[in-house]
Chain A
Amino acid sequence: MSAASKDNKIVNEKIVENATCTFCGCCCDDITLTVDMDKKVITKAQDACILGKAWFLNHVIEDKPIARIDGKEVALDDAIDEAAKVLMDAKFPILYGMSDTICEAQRQCAPMMDDCGGTIDTTTSVCHGPSGMAFQGVGEPSMTLGEVKNRADFVMYWGGNPAEAHPRHFARYAVTPKGMFTPNGKDDRTVVIVDVRQTKTAGVADIFLQVKPGKDFELLWMLRAACKGAAIPDNCKELCGIEKDVVEDLFDKMKNCKYGVIFFGMGLTMSRGRHFNSGALMALATDLNEFTHFVAKPARGHGNVTGADNVVSWQTGYPFGVNFSRGHPRFNPGEFTTVDTLTRGEADAAIVIASDPVANFPKPAIDHITSDKCKLISIDTKQTPTSEAAHVSIQTSTYGINTGGTVYRMDDVPISLRPAFDSPFPSDLEVLTKLRKKVNELSKKANRPYATKKYI
């Protein structure tokens, strides 16, 4: 910490170098934070993008109770006891979220749901869940963002808008940085954007292709067929909205580049076709390896949604939508994913961690999770529609700002966090560790056949 700063009159200033922004999946770990330790606020976030600045500079220690039951302030331990009781008394408890917390906290969740015979699901199920299903079908031609920076001379964004959702993706990893084999930055790269809208991302494109809404699969399949020697059909424009010669030129560029990469977004996974769209894209990237080196990667949204997939995968064998009611993990999207269990009115208790389904889920799911038929538990760093609707609400400290730990960048690279200042709120890890222990105790008392015998 330094002495008085003349410019902004901060007397108790702390500089945190190489801090990681955990707002989006880019997890930029080169941010320099200036912290006013007296006021407990971050006054400057050097090198952060517009979203990163909003993430750091709007973080304040709120004057709110740590724990509430039905809106009334209670002791943290009482809230944890009640949450454990709700989960154990439920016939079909679900756990959802985890994409905005550290891996160490995520690690507590699967064993807890194992003990209460429930279901665990991450925000991936309403994000790149279809891509996760496609990985299992066609594989993932993967890479790290460091490889992209140093090698990629053909960069494509399909159905995503990184200029607004991942603003530093261009400058840090894929478009403008100068790499080992791309010494001239953007001049050494061909940048192609495929989208139904002319978004701000289109501004960086050498080639912008406005595909007909809902026709991504058709265009992807035409390119796959071209890899196998088939001609682009004459009615190409009618099929996908893009002229035949433009698609032929695109295919030429794809197969003649030295290192090609496609980043894809929810324009593919959220529209009709879902995992078939993601699967077609990854199969195309695989097919292009007959000509050159080609890879593909989903552009992940939340700061540690990639970590949630990794942690749940190494604990259960599956990335999301995992049910433990038979004493072993079963994966079945559509049956055990959160939107489905809520829409069908099956879940009678829901614990939501660092997520806000009441603001973002489909209306039938919101109607059920906020009804008397489903007891809602919320663990979050901020007040949200979900925390306000919850029976048990616990407010925690913010990862990357108040607590350290591990997050996974969108390319599955783990990064250690450097917190800026302490918070009076407990960490997700502390709350979830206590809750897991309590659920385990209750599970043993109830002689649940599958209760973990030894608390690990």
Chain B
Amino acid sequence: MKGKLILIPGRSAKQGVGLNKGKLKDEYKKVTTTLEVSFEDMKSLGLETGDHVKISNEIGETNVIVKGLREGKIPEGYAFIPYGPPSSCLFDGETCASGMPESKGMKIDIEFIKKGEKKKTTLPPLNS
């Protein structure tokens, strides 16, 4: 089970709360290792919420846990992850003379590693 997605890292409220509790604590680590993927992509990749996957590009790779989103919440072919050490593994240092690394819209490979310990059912789309 392999595929390609475009990654959009960003802020989330849970990530903000987690970093206040401590970046070295489990809550922050859990939030920043959760990859949100559209229901359609979950289905085509044969993934379920809670599965462990490896995401990688030419810069680096990291292991995260996948979470399915309802239809329309994220465009098909895209994935979201809160900012943190795992997303940083995939950022290139090239800034195109701007100082800002391209931190949104990176092409990544996604590969299934293993089932999650606590199996959860992927959300069905609202209109099914």
**Which residue numbers of A lie inside 8 Å of B, CB to CB?**
23-24, 50-51, 54-55, 58, 121, 125-126, 129-130, 133, 161, 163-165, 167, 196-198, 200, 210, 213-214, 266-267, 269-272, 274-275, 301, 320-321, 333-335, 337-340, 342-344, 356, 359-366, 382-385, 388
Contact = CB atoms under 8 A, between A and B. Distances in A.
B111 to A, nearest CB: 19
A50 B75 contact: no
Given A339-B93, A339-B101, A23 B20 contact: yes
Contact of B88 (A133, A200, A363): A363
Contacts of B20: 23, 51, 54-55, 58
Given A58-B21, A364-B59, A382-B23, A213 B8 contact: yes
Contacts of A340: 93, 95, 99
A334 B99 contact: yes
Interface string B67-102: 000001111001010011100111111111111111
> 10 smallest A-B Cβ distances: which pairs?
A337-B99, A343-B93, A334-B97, A362-B91, A364-B93, A54-B20, A333-B99, A125-B99, A54-B17, A164-B13
Nearest to B84: A359
B105 interface: yes
A30 B84 CA distance: 30
Contact of A321 (B16, B73, B78, B99): B99
Contacts of B96: 274, 334
Interface residues of B, number: 42
Interface of B: 6, 8, 10-13, 16-17, 20-24, 59-60, 72-75, 78, 80, 83-85, 88-105
Contact of A270 (B24, B84, B102): B102
A384 B10 CA distance: 19
Nearest to B20: A54
A362 B88 contact: yes
Nearest to A275: B98
A301 B95 CA distance: 20
A235 B84 CA distance: 38
Most buried by B among A266, A342, A384: A266
A399 to B, nearest CB: 14
A127 to B, nearest CB: 8
Nearest to B6: A213
A51 B104 contact: no
B100 A274 contact: yes
Nearest to B87: A360
Given A267-B10, A334-B95, A383-B22, 18 more contacts: A58-B20, A161-B10, A210-B75, A213-B8, A271-B105, A333-B99, A343-B94, A343-B95, A361-B88, A361-B91, A362-B92, A362-B93, A363-B90, A366-B88, A383-B23, A384-B23, A384-B24, A388-B24
B12 A126 contact: no
Contacts of B97: 333-335
A51 B102 CA distance: 26
Contacts of B75: 196-197, 210, 213
A129 B105 contact: no
Given A364-B92, A382-B22, A129 B72 contact: no
B85 A359 contact: yes
16 contacts: A50-B17, A130-B100, A161-B11, A164-B11, A164-B16, A197-B8, A214-B105, A270-B103, A333-B97, A333-B98, A339-B95, A340-B93, A360-B83, A362-B91, A362-B93, A363-B93
Given A164-B13, A165-B16, A126 B99 contact: yes
Nearest to B74: A197
Contacts of A270: 100, 102-104
B66 to A, nearest CB: 16
Nearest to A268: B104
B117 to A, nearest CB: 26
A339 B10 contact: no
B9 to A, nearest CB: 8
A198 B22 CA distance: 29
A337 to B, nearest CB: 3
B102 to A, nearest CB: 6
Nearest to B11: A165
A394 B85 CA distance: 22
A440 B43 CA distance: 62
Contacts of B59: 362-364
Most buried by A among B10, B78, B84, B99: B99
